[in-house]
């Protein structure tokens, strides 16, 4: 089977299965061959369930021969981030406490892709409890960036993004509480969607022992793919209420209001004193914005009337409370604070949404960086509060990595990460396209238009 086909978007693979160009079993064998060849260098796929997957793929082929189609993902072999519970497959959350954890039931998102015809055949690597901007843990070790194995693929969905970039899977499902879909997409040169909070059910999220039974504040599940059309397809499959609410309500996301890029009113915010964008990334982003303007996009230097420094301070306080259960009974209560404090921070968040809502009444989209830097070298010493990164010769706090993604995390806007070029060193750079709350389709449509102008996904050299 050709590498070109296995590096194709999921909708192209689904079409190939439907037209009998390739069988589901052949796709699975193709991905497994690539995993054997490529995965030793990047360590993206950490668990395989091939016997059951082959049976499911064979059943999909038999159904296809009868003219029976389960759904839009019929027969597509896929991997899923190891933070998401998958029935019958070891699902660890990257934590040694769950080394042998095999869930009895699927998370709702896994059930949804299976109902649409996909076959889950493996899990991808992540940091412990999804808690880092790079990907390593005590069970499976370190995942490397497929563009430069000395660098990180991002986190926490680093294994997922690396697997998509190298054609080890049809697509991926990641999680994003602080850029964990968008950051790896940026670092690995693929597409990612952070949906509006609540649009995709997030039950079955392994952020602690006994986790997955409630929604986690700020956190969302989102697809990682090789083009924007896949994000739209997967949003169709994944969006909706959690199972217990399906009887009572339906989700109807509005379609895009604009047709071409010139129909949008677009604000650009590429740099800020609170988080300077590194020169290598800024050059790629400015070049991309200039090309979009040359193609007719109406672009203004404008953004919501908010302070990045203040926004990030509030985000970090809410994030710390949201992730505090993963630190256990000793440290968790200290980090989480009191419910009284959290309620006041939640009030502050509600007030912060107002300037975003007002801005998106005048503008359609906001373009900004995903991360202020390109993929950085592995740096695993100490904790996130202690680490630093060197940007343009200046040592900066490690946590600055998430300054741009956090802007639209706790205020719940949808955002896509779109590959728009590479630095002089050959590392991918993503552009973050932000839309108003529940304008997920608009963020994806804009990503598709940007992809048409700037070229979209390019596989790393090791993948071809």
Cα–Cα distance measured from residue 281 to residue 186, given in angstroms and rounded to the nearest whole number:
11
74-84 burial, b at 16+ Cβ within 10 Å, e below that, comes to: bbbbbbbbbbb
Q: What is the DSSP letter of 278?
A: P
Q: Which of 8, 23, 24, 81 is catalytic?
A: 81
Residue written as token pair 């990641």: 174
Question: What DSSP element (H or E) covers 293?
Answer: helix 279-294
Instruction: Reduce the DSSP state of residue 250 to 3 states and report it.
Output: coil
Picking from 320, 308, 317, the residue whose alpha carbon sits closest to that of residue 347 is 317
What is the maximal distance between C-alpha atoms in the chain?
Answer: 63
180: annotated active-site residue: yes
Q: In Å, how far are 76, 427, 443, 454 from 284, measured between CA atoms?
A: 34, 10, 20, 11
DSSP 42-90: H--EEEE-HHHHHHHHHHHHHHHHTT---STTTT-EEEEETTB--TTS-
CA 446 vs. chain centroid, Å, equals 17
The label of the residue with tokens 């739209």 reads 232
Helix (H, G, I), strand (E, B) or coil at 173: strand
180, 317, 326, 417: the catalytic one is 180
Q: Which of 8, 23, 130, 156 is catalytic?
A: 156
| Contact (Cβ atoms closer than 8 angstroms) between residue 186 and residue 417 | yes
What are the tokens at 204? 């079955």
Please report, for residues 105, 109, 177, 203, 245, the alpha-carbon distance to residue 242 in angstroms, rounded to integers and kept in the order given. 14, 9, 18, 8, 6
The answer to whether the beta carbons of residues 204 and 84 sit under 8 Å apart is yes
- Cβ atoms 416, 448 nearer than 8 A: no
Residue 20: active-site member: no
Three-class secondary structure of residue 191 per DSSP? strand
3-state secondary structure of 390: strand
Candidates 445, 421, 425; CA nearest to 433 is 445
Joined tokens for residue 144: 């490397």
Distance CA 73, CA 414 (A): 24
Strands (E), 212-284: 220-225, 265-268
- Residue 355 host element (H or E): helix 339-362
Q: Which residues form the catalytic set?
A: 81, 156, 180
């Amino acid at each position: 089977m050709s590498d070109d086909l296995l590096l194709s978007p999921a909708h192209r693979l689904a079409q190939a299965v439907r037209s009998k160009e390739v069988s589901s079993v052949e796709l699975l064998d193709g991905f497994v061959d690539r995993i054997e060849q490529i995965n030793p260098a990047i360590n993206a796929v950490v668990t395989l369930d091939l016997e059951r997957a082959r049976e499911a793929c064979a059943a999909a082929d038999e159904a296809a021969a009868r003219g029976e189609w389960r759904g839009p993902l019929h027969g597509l072999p896929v991997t899923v981030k190891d933070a998401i519970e998958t029935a019958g497959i070891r699902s660890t959350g990257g934590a040694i406490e769950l080394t042998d954890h095999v869930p009895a039931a699927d998370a709702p998102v896994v059930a949804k892709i299976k109902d649409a015809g996909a076959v889950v055949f493996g899990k991808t690597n992540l940091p412990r409890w999804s808690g880092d901007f790079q990907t390593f843990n005590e069970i499976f070790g370190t995942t490397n960036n497929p563009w430069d194995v000395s660098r990180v693929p991002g986190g926490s969905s680093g294994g997922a993004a690396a697997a998509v970039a190298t054609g080890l899977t049809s697509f991926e499902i990641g999680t994003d509480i602080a850029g964990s879909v968008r950051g790896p997409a940026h670092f690995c040169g693929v597409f990612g969607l952070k949906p509006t909070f609540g649009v995709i059910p997030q039950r079955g999220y392994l952020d602690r022992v006994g986790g997955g039974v409630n929604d986690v504040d700020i956190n969302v599940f989102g697809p990682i793919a090789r083009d924007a059309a896949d994000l739209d397809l997967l949003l169709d499959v994944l969006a909706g209420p959690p199972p217990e609410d399906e009887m009572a309500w339906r989700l109807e996301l509005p379609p895009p209001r604009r047709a071409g890029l010139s129909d949008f009113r677009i604000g650009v915010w590429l740099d800020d004193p609170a988080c300077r964008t590194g020169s290598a990334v800024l050059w790629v982003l400015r070049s991309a914005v200039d090309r979009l303007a040359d193609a007719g996009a109406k672009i203004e230097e404008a953004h919501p009337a908010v302070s990045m420094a203040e926004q990030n301070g509030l985000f970090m306080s809410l994030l710390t409370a949201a992730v505090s259960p993963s630190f256990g009974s000793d440290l968790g209560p200290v980090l989480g604070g009191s419910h009284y404090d959290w309620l006041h921070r939640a009030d502050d968040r509600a007030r912060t949404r107002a300037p975003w809502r007002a801005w998106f009444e005048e503008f359609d989209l906001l373009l900004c960086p995903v991360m202020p830097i390109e993929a950085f070298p592995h740096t695993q010493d100490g904790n996130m509060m202690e680490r630093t990164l060197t940007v343009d010769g200046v040592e900066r706090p490690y946590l600055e990595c998430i300054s741009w993604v956090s802007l639209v995390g706790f205020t719940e806007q949808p955002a896509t990460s779109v590959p728009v070029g590479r630095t002089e060193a050959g590392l991918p750079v993503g552009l973050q396209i932000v839309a108003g709350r529940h304008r997920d389709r608009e963020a994806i449509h804009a990503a598709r238009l940007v992809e048409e102008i700037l070229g979209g996904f390019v596989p790393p050299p090791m993948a071809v």
